[in-house]
Structure 1
């Protein structure tokens, strides 16, 4: 069984709805054989990262950057996991009030350093997420799982 690690920082109601959509996408019935660990960024450990086969990352865009919680997660795990996770698939979802570009760039730089493989472009949402936005986010998460199933 393959495992997808969903690392998230979802302090607002909007981000919690996005998190629920990501979890829904990963729980799709066609993805049998996928285990999901949904862990807040501040609680995620090296062990979580190392035992996962793929990743979904959720962060707000704060002041043009990823959240401090996600940055702290990377600070704690980067060197321990460097080299061990290369080639694994990931997806990124960023929500901001009006701009997400800086947050996306900052996470993508770290993912590149780890050697992760993006399964598609980052999902970038601004403002109040629509039903279509949430469905698209669920699909992004499911893409990571589907990639693991081959």
Structure 2
């Protein structure tokens, strides 16, 4: 059994809907050998990262940066995971009221330092909330879990 960790900040009903959509896709009944663990960034830590086979990060865009909660998760996990999680498959979705580029750049900087492997282009849910954001997040969760299940990642 492989473990997919979803660490996503969901401070609003819309961002909670996105996280639940990622989880729904990851828990697709056709996926048989993947355990899905979902945590808020303030609840997740290095032990969760060390125990997973892939990770999906989710954040809001806050003043052109990731959420403080996700930054806190990285602050607590960076050094304990630095030498032990190189090559960890990951992707990210960003709920961006503007363009999300600063948020993506910040996450890219940290995950590059960790030497994690980006397996899917970041999903940027830009502008006013759209119902299709949830569908896109569900597809993202399904893609990562199905890739783990098939042994592709």
Q: TM-score interval w.r.t. the shorter chain?
A: over 0.9
Determine if the alignment matches structure 1 residue 139 to structure 2 residue 139.
yes
How far apart, in 1, do the equivalents of 2:83 and 2:143 lie?
A: 23
**Structure 1 residues 81 and 14: alpha-carbon distance in aligned structure 2, compared to 1, 3 A threshold:** same
Deviation for aligned residue 1:99: 2.1
Instruction: Give the corresponding residue for 1:63.
Output: 63
How far apart, in 1, do the equivalents of 2:104 and 2:25 lie?
A: 21
Which ranges of structure 2 fall in alignment gaps of 5 or more residues? none
Matches within 5 A, 1:63-82: 63-82=63-82
Determine if the alignment matches structure 1 residue 101 to structure 2 residue 106.
no
Instruction: Give the corresponding residue for 1:47.
Output: 47
Structure with greater proportional helix content:
1
How far apart, in 2, do the equivalents of 1:16 and 1:127 lie?
A: 17
Note if contact 2:19-2:58 (Cα within 8 Å) is conserved in structure 1: yes
TM-score, normalised to structure 2's length? Answer: 0.92
How far apart, in 1, do the equivalents of 2:112 and 2:139 lie?
A: 22
Note if contact 1:91-1:141 (Cα within 8 Å) is conserved in structure 2: no
Which ranges of structure 1 fall in alignment gaps of 5 or more residues? none
Instruction: Give the corresponding residue for 1:18.
Output: 18
Note if contact 2:97-2:126 (Cα within 8 Å) is conserved in structure 1: yes
Question: What is the RMSD computed on CA atoms of the aligned residues?
Answer: 1.2
1:91 aligned counterpart, secondary structure: strand
